[in-house]
Copies of this chain bind each other. A is one copy, B any other.
Amino acid sequence: MSGNTFGTAFRLTTWGESHGRAVGAVVDGCPAGLALSEADIQPELDRRRPGQSRTTTQRKEADLVEILSGTFEGVTTGTPISLLVWNRDADSSAYDAIRDRPRPGHADYTYMAKYGLRDHRGGGRASARETVGRVAAGAIAKKLLRQDGIYIAGYVTELGGIRACLSENSDIMDLRAAAEGSIVRCPDPEAGAKMAELLDIVRKEGDSLGGVVEIVASGVPLGLGEPVFDKLDAELAGALMGIGAVKSVEIGAGLKSARLRGSEMNDPIILREGRIDFESNNAGGILGGISTGAPIICRIGVKPTPSISRRQRTVDLSLIEAAEIEIKGRHDPTIPPRIVPVAEAMVALVLADHLLRNRAARV
């Protein structure tokens, strides 16, 4: 009943707190026969690592992943893959101030209320550090997917109200490459520069920005997704909304669909080089919860970083009286650039899961 496991056939269980001894994950259900080593995982962890630029926190984490089980002579064996990253460089004293003073916009108060106690250091289990396990597992899922020609790309399309201008026909791996070269992970250099500029201002004001991230999967075969509750879009929505700070999830035309007419929304079914295809992709690659073969398109709305240095009102839990809080330390002034690899990982995990589940669809 506890919710630390994700997936059905390709399953991930994460564990660990921000300032505990380590964080990690166990991947169960990865098929045997996949070449796998730490070198397949480390680059993804490096992408999510803070301390890389002005837009991310300065905490230095080596974040070296170790594979403790599940492979033999560089190949997966079908047994659980245990992934571990030691926690280092964690100064918990900075968090003494929040022990009794829950931070607005954070999980401090709700964890306390649910469990009666909490590891407050660095946000404990509710810290973004938990996503280390997701990203590491997602790297394995991605490798599995690549073998089937499925690729996933995420990038920032909007930050602090500034929108990227992207061509609809861009190759998603080109977009991803462009985004990776940007300090705010935006594939549109012009918009990216403006976003970075605004971020600098906002950071100095002790405030933070929200934004929008798009994640696209190409090469997804027809037929993935299990109706009626485990639809591909339902599972993607759950996976993405379950990332901290995400407040909206859209598939394909998303919220815009609500303002279209049926004749505009429906993607005509056509023949393209003798194969059945769709003229447009408002559906975002999913109909009736099952993949259409077109690219899967997801978009998430990410709230601004709740940890801001401005003074905020809270309540002292021990005294039960009004209090104030100023959050010290260096925090990302915006989350979208760092959420990209996490969101990609979640999409990869959902797709890997459904790729395996779909094997049981027919006699």
Contacts and interface: CB of A to CB of B under 8 A. Distances in A.
A15 B248 contact: no
Interface in A105-134: 105-107, 109-111, 113-119, 124-126, 130
Interface stretch (A48-56, A167-175, A281-289): A281-289
Contacts of A206: 263
Given A228-B14, A322-B271, A301 B247 contact: no
Nearest to A268: B313
Interface string A175-193: 0000000000000000000
A125 B314 CA distance: 50
Interface in A298-324: 301-308, 310, 312-315, 317, 320-322
A260 B303 contact: yes
B229 A302 contact: no
Interface residues of A, number: 156
Contact of A69 (B16, B76, B113, B117): B16
Interface string A5-28: 110110101111100111110101
Interface string A34-71: 10000000000000000000000000000000101110
A301 B77 CA distance: 30
A297 to B, nearest CB: 11
A360 B1 contact: yes
A343 interface: no
A90 interface: no
Given A17-B79, A24-B82, A242-B228, A291 B248 contact: no
A257 interface: yes
Contacts of A114: 32, 78, 222-223, 225, 290, 358, 361
A292 to B, nearest CB: 6
B258 A301 contact: yes
A93 interface: no
Task: Tell me the number of copies of this protein.
Answer: 4
Nearest to A158: B258
A21 B66 contact: yes
A3 B236 CA distance: 14
A148 B295 CA distance: 36
A212 interface: yes
B361 A31 contact: yes
A266 interface: yes
A262 B32 contact: no
A204 interface: no
A80 B13 contact: yes
A211 to B, nearest CB: 5
A263 B32 contact: no
- The 7 A-B pairs of least Cβ separation, nearest first, read A107-B288, A3-B230, A238-B238, A3-B226, A234-B242, A237-B241, A208-B262
8 contacts: A15-B69, A16-B69, A110-B288, A114-B358, A210-B265, A238-B241, A248-B254, A262-B306
Given A116-B362, A263-B308, 5 more contacts: A237-B241, A247-B258, A257-B301, A265-B306, A276-B315
